[in-house]
Copies of this chain bind each other. A is one copy, B any other.
Amino acid sequence: MVRAPIPDLASGERRLEGAVAHYLARVLRLGAGDAFVGFDPVRSLEASAVVVKTDPDGMTVRFEDAREAAARGPRAVTWIQGLAKGDKCDAVVRDATELGATRIVVAQTERSVVRLDAARASARQARWTRIAQEAARQCGRSDAPAVEPFCAWTEAIAGVEPAEGARFCLWERATEPVGPALFEAIARGGPLAFACGPEGGLETGEVERAAAAGWTIASLGGLTLRTETVAAAVLGAVLVMAGAIEP
C-alpha cells in the first residue's frame, strides 16, 4: 500500500498540494478512487485514505479515522552527527531513519569544514526533516525520527541525559571496541545514543567533553571508516544484535 506523510492527520476531506500531492498524483499516478495510507510522522498515527479528485495543482483526499501506527522504531535511538561536507549528512539522515533512529541531531564540531549561520541551519534542519519523513515512508516506518535544531557539539552531547540510557561516542582512536558495552546495553533494554564526528574526526577536547559527561568512548575497530558509513554500520549492528538477543 502506498504511504504518504501527512502532518496533522485527521479524518475527513482535505486538500493536498506540493510535494506530497506531486508524489501521489504524478509519480505514483493515483487518481480518483485510489486508496493509500496517510501517516502522521510526529504523532505516530496512520489513516486509510482515498483520492476524491485530482486537479493540476493538487488533489482532494478523504481520510478515515486515524489509528495508532502499526510499524515503528523498536526503541529510542539518538544519532548525533558532526556536520560533514556536501550531502553526507543527507545520507546519514536517510540511513539512520531506515535503521531505526528516533532522534537525529546534526552538530557543529571543530573540524566541520562547513559553518552554518542561523538561517542556513534552519533551512538544513527543514531539509533533513523532509529527508527523514521521506525515508520513513519508503522503509515502512510511520514515526519519522525527530530532527532536532542544529547546535554545537557540546550542546548536543549535553542534550542526552544519562537517564536516557547507554551513550556511545564513536572515536577512531578509542581503545575499547563498541561491541561489548553495546551488546550489554541492548540486552538490558532502554534507549541508546550515539555521537560521531565529521569526516575529519573529533578533536581530543570534544571527546574529553563527551567522556566527562559520562559517554562511553568506543571504537569500531582498526579501520578508518568514512563518517557517512558509521551510522549505517552502527545502527545496522543495533538492529541485528537486538534481533539476536531480544525475544
Q: Which residues of A contact B (CB under 8 A)?
A: 71, 74, 95, 98-100, 138-141, 177-180, 182-183, 220-226, 229, 232-237, 239-245
Q: Which residues of the other chain, B, contact A178 by a CB distance below 8 angstroms?
A: 240, 243
Contact B240 A220 (CB under 8 A): yes
Q: Is the CB of A99 within 8 A of B243?
A: no
Partner of A240, one of B139, B226, B237: B237
- List the B side residues contacting A177 at CB < 8 Å: 240, 243-244
Contacts of A245 in B (CB 8 A): 179, 183
A243 to B178, CA, bound (A): 7
Residues of B within 8 A of A183 (CB): 241, 244-245
CA distance A225 to B232 in the complex (A): 11
7 tightest Cβ-Cβ pairs between the two chains A and B: A233-B236, A179-B244, A179-B243, A177-B243, A232-B232, A237-B240, A183-B244
Q: How far is the CA of A221 from the CA of B141 in the complex (A)?
A: 12
- Specify which of A223, A225, A239 lies most central, judged by the most chain B CB atoms within 10 Å of its CB: A223
Complex Cα distance A75/B183, Å? 21
